[in-house]
Amino acid sequence: MSTPVFSVRPLSSQTGNSSGATTGSIISNGGLAPVTGRRVLPADTQALPGVSFVVPVYNKAPHIPRVLAQIKAQQGDFPRQFVFLDDGSTDGSLDIVRAETEGWENLVIEHQANAGSAAATNAAIALADQPYLKFVDADDLLTDRATLVLLRALSDSDACLIYGGVQRFAATENPQLQGPSDQTHVERIDEPLLAALKNSLFNPTQFLARTDAVREVGGCDERVVHSQEYGLTLRLARKWAFLKLDETVAWLPEDSTGRLSTNEGRQLQRVTRAVAYFLADYPDLPNSVKSYACKRLAGRAWKYARRRGGEGTVGRWFWRNLAAQLNFLRDHAAFADECVAAFESAEGRPVGEQAPNY
């Protein structure tokens, strides 16, 4: 496993939770993500810990000024650091970041040869000096109080991360960037792994995480070059609880040139590859979890092959899906790796095909 070098401290604050469930262990049953309840935000009566804003940048020049304006506009009285990692941009993005952030305190701007979003994110994580990480994609907009509200909720818990809702906006639209409110509710997910295997729960701009937790699991999986959050999500979900905020914290542009998540097949391909690596890295996962993961992957592969790959109702991926659904698998990691091939045709398809939620 490709693992960046991080300085790691034990998560001493995460030894238990108010519901009596034990954190720090993998999911052990076939149920989907037990939820222990909802609560309102804690009272704003104590000093908040610091946040490192982690922003990998690659060829996002048209979006950067507005993205930076929203990062700078984040409300709340908490220490903050700003880490920008340019991943070999060729459109002047690095120069824009330098110009727009002139005079910012606790600012780090680094540049590297293009290595992909996962490697760029890991390089930025290694530079972070605050106990919490707020990830931001370089074309997404944070709402004004996103970091403050996420931080207040997470710092009052033993979960490893918290994520909020997302909306999309058109190029001609001015999104509503106020909020979230103090009346928002927080949902605790004690065993989030199956939910994370079912669907991608969030993009980077939607979540805030404990720095120690991210470093303890090795950061992002750099083998999945153009995806940073999904492999990291799985690694974190295996060990700790998540929190979910019920209001919007991020706005994503509907049309962002070259954004991989707007290509249906390549998005599903990288998710499949991330799960295959995850199953190979953690062979001690319960069989129920490995079986569930393969059923999800095989189902997606079959549906995509029918929708985009020209396969008939009964074909190669039909039989593989049937084998997964009937639990006729011996090597789950190898089977998951085979499912990557279902999306080979995606390499020649244009960006702009939104992936159905399957």
The whole-number average pLDDT for the span 33-50 is 70
Q: Could you tell me if 78 and 223 lie in one domain?
A: yes
* pLDDT mean over 304-331: 92
Tally the residues of the chain.
Answer: 358
pTM: 0.85
Task: State residue 351's pLDDT score.
Answer: 46
Residue 124 predicted with pLDDT over 50:
yes
Compute the distance between CA of residue 93 and CA of residue 117 in angstroms, rounded to an integer: 15
In a domain, 354, yes or no: no
State the CATH number of the domain containing residue 51. 3.90.550.10
Average per-residue pLDDT for the chain? 87
Whether residues 251 and 289 share a domain: the answer is: no
pLDDT over 90, % of the chain = 74
User: Which pLDDT score, from 0 to 100, does residue 43 have?
Assistant: 62
In total, how many domains does the chain have?
A: 2
179 in the same domain as 253: yes
Residues 177 and 316 in one domain: no
The domain of 307 spans: 281-347
Note whether residue 101 is domain-resident: yes
Residue 228: predicted pLDDT: 75
Q: What is the mean pLDDT of residues 223-247?
A: 94
Domain boundary among 195, 228, 260: 260
Q: Is the same domain home to 123 and 232?
A: yes
pLDDT one-digit tens code per residue, 66-101: 999 999 999 999 999 999 999 999 999 999 999 999
Strands 161-169 and 207-210: antiparallel
Domain co-membership, 239 together with 314: no
Lowest mean pLDDT among 150-164, 173-187, 246-260, 308-322: 246-260
> How much is the average pLDDT of 134-149?
98
- CA dist., res. 317 & res. 67, Å (int): 41
**pLDDT tens readout for residues 278-296:** 999 999 999 999 999 999 9
End-to-end CA distance of the chain: 28
Q: Does 89 reside within a domain?
A: yes
Q: With bands split at pLDDT 50, 70 and 90, how would you rate the model's confidence at 13?
A: very low
- 239-253 pLDDT per residue, tens: 999 999 999 999 999
Q: Which two tokens stand for residue 232?
A: 């990291």
pLDDT of residue 25: 38
